[in-house]
Structure 1
Amino acid sequence: MRRWTTAPLAVALLLALAACGDGSDDPTTTGPGGPGATDVGPPEAEEPLDAEVVALAPGEPSTRNRREVVVLDPGDPEAAAALFAEDERDDVATAVAGADLDGRTLLGGIVHVGCARASAVFVVVQDDVVHLRSEDLSDLEDGVQCVAATVTSALVAVATDDLPPAYRDPGAGAGDDGGEVAGDVVLVAATGYEAAAVADPGLVRDAVDVDALVGRYGVEEEAPALRSRVETGEEVLVAAVVGEACEPPVGGRVVRVDDGIELVPDHGDPGPDPEVVCDALAQALVVVAVAAADVEGVGTVGSAPADGPVGVGPVHVVEAVDVGAEPLAVVAEDEGGVDAVLAGIAGAPPLDLPPVEGDAVRLVFVVDGCQPGTGELIADLGAGTVRAEVQQVGPPVECEALAPHVVVADLAGGHAGLQPVTG
């Protein structure tokens, strides 16, 4: 067996940092108060359940690119160990076989996928769905670009009475497949790993979405081919960064899962070499063209809401302002905040905006558009800039003249170095 990594030196350093906390190699490392506990806390606003960590180690990527927590049969240690990297499985199976689960349920799943490896796990329940959360790894990952992600998986024992009823039988929580959606692979492009907080681009429906996708991943040469697939409205593009092996995928396919769709990586025939073990996953942007009617009404696309942003951050507001308002592109914080910026824009309405999340950067633009609707942030990675573009909602309308609109958007933290420009 040969061991190799697709990760650059920066990733190797991050992994070393993530692994050198107290107890990081101890499978009993846990969140609140367990043996080998690290000096970390659960995610904010989430009260963790009491849990014993049976195993916390490098994980096996989900073949579905999913993060569901599943209920495992403690009488089948090998099945539980399959969630982990190959060279961890014997130790994990031994830990499962020796675990005292009286009155408790064995849960397993991926805790974290990112540039750094998790060293703690917390079990939280939201809307009767169980999630495994890592400690806050933002200090290790924010602003870091790595070519591939590392996976941390965990097995935890939780009091059965503390779990929602759906999580009390082995095999629960795995999700239901609804079949494959026919489509054509139109793009496979190598890309760096994006942090879990950055949603996949999801559905690309029109030329503005194409510009946002192209700018986010620097695939300008592919823009004409992508635009040609969406220009009639009969097709949309399903786009995601995927990869479940040491070698990058060569394609992908779209499948239905619950009320959404996911893009599953295709690693070719005969698939990844099982004798090759690596420390990180090689990933790629995969884009598949599907009939718009086949994905109408889906709620999610992989990690993204179907109506979420394609580009480098969400757009919150697109509102018309007075004719004659000057073009603008600023970081709100640098100008005294959003309210101060709006005060200088003729005809700008008062806005009720959500708080800025994490290390995102709030931007304010004044750009020309046809009518109020929505918009996208469009990056130019080569130039180090980002601009906003107004996007129509619904059937195209004829414009007699473009008019100025104020656009308020949040640039995702991983792209915070981009400078806002007007065009």
Structure 2
Amino acid sequence: MNITLSDVENNFNNGRRGEEAQFGLPANSLGNLSLPAGFDTYSGAEKALYILNEERTARAGSSYPGVGTVLGLPFGAAETNLSNLAQSHANWLVGNNQWSHTGANGWSTAQRIDNDPVLGTAPNPDCHESTLNNALTENLYYIPNFFPTPNQRVVERALYDWIYADAFTSPAWGHRRACLMQDYNQQGTQGYTNNYGLAGTEGFIGLGANGGVGYNPSGLPTFGGHNDVVVLNFIDPIASPNSCNYFGMGVPLPISLIQFSGKAREEGVQLEWETATETNNSHFILERARGGKGFQAITRVQGAGNTLEKQTYDFFDENPTPGLNYYRLSQVDYDGSRNWLRTISVNHTSGKGYINFHPNPLRGETLEVYGLEKMPGHKAHLSLFSLSGQLLLQTVLETTAAAVSVSLEGVLPGCYLLRLRQGAQYLQEVLVKY
């Protein structure tokens, strides 16, 4: 049975829906993966770059419990030297019937990169940053087979499993973290310094793959067929490469989005976005939703087609709803392919009163609900649900003041769905309690 492009898209999109439910993200906020018609003509490294960048940018602006808001910057390139290094390790693994991050000369992943003639630090100038955790510089993937023919879509399957099916590996989600890892953190343990190339991109990847009927490394399942291995490497290029001969290959996203932001004004919401580059970009579609659900298109903005120059766009939403509004930006190619770029939220506080709560995350026992309308008999209702939909708490709030305190004593730490309603006002948000 052939694995089609539609099969690949469906699997990744099902993974996104599962992630939204698992982390309490707004439904469909991660959008859908849409692969271009010419995807099967791409090299393995180009396929990896395209899908990884789609996955990274899909999460831009999303807030994860305990992590905060994700930048969602795409990788800068599939770097040729790094892909050659990954391919050499894949060849060595198959040729020596091994399964390990340790390869030729007994070198680890970091040692292979450090001793590479172009990327290395010994004896050449330092051509990569040291901010990446060594454990997050290489992903390996093995696919067994009953049949003597090569496995289908090994790159796509490897990427899916690394991002969506990695929970039971050791360390759990390590491969996912390597694929989605963002900028350098304040603890100085891992990440990209984001000081090379366009501000809207960070990091390089390199990919190699190999396999054969005789490849059956000890400790891994084998069924007598053609088994395959995929190697994916990551580096952070330095700010001033000087003699570092980086060579990027691959297909960038149709849009390299620098930023997408919104600001509440008295009369509505001002929305702005910037692109670093555009390829075959027909137009943008801007959608709005209340509570992150039920997105509806509010405008279409003409794109710049093909350009390497920065472009700036804006739109003023005259009809936001009181409270939290979600805005989702997507881009449409000339061939009709649609790519979801980023989702943001803006609180519109002018006009009628708006209902909301804070703090979130909650590190104590008392939640404050504010923006209540002080009207006789116009009571507010608060409900707290588990993410599986079980009602845990329901209370009526007296509206003698614009803000009231609600005790959540006895509610265990975790993620919950909190709903507030007062008259026509309605708010549904994920509450994180520590």
* Fold in common (TM above 0.5): no
Q: Which has the larger radius of gyration?
A: 2
TM-score by length of 1: 0.27
